[in-house]
Amino acid sequence: MTAEVVRLIIPGPPVAWARARRRGGRYFTAPAQAEYAERVRRAWLMAGRLRLPDGVVVAVRGDFHLARPAGHYATGRNAGQLRPSAPAWPLGRPDVDNLLKAPLDALTGLLYRDDAHVGHVQGTRRYASAGGPSTVLEVWAYASAAPGALTRAA
């Protein structure tokens, strides 16, 4: 089976999923997470409002391009150059599993009916290159879908 891949490019820094917070008697979503979910929705709209069929297992690959901390760069006449001690890969937070959860939740009801249909995930976090921080998601029907089953949402 040849799978149709939906590729979404979400500009701006990736935001990890966080539990809803409580203020007084009400729960709320952190503003940075809500703004990121809106960027994911805009990327879905720009991709053509595609929708995977119900009853399929969904596979997701996420590449999260993070901004380097200022401390990774030299100062003075070498400003803008990476320090030799700067790590090649991000260490610490945000965790890649939390980075994956945020866009998966944002695409629920849009690209697929429920993120419970996600049966395969792969995630990578790395430092952004010249393009700046971003998220690149590739999503496709992993099993039980006929070729050409991808549709446009109403």
CA–CA separation, 66 and 88 (whole Å): 12
Q: Tens of pLDDT along 110-140?
A: 998 888 889 999 999 999 987 899 999 999 8
> Helix count (H) and strand count (E) of the chain?
2, 8
Segments of the chain with pLDDT less than 70: 1-3, 19-21, 28, 143-154
pLDDT at residue 81, rounded to an integer: 87
* pTM of the model as a whole: 0.83
CA–CA separation, 110 and 130 (whole Å): 30
pLDDT at residue 143, rounded to an integer: 66
CATH top-level class of 6-152: alpha beta
**Spans of all domains in the chain:** 6-152
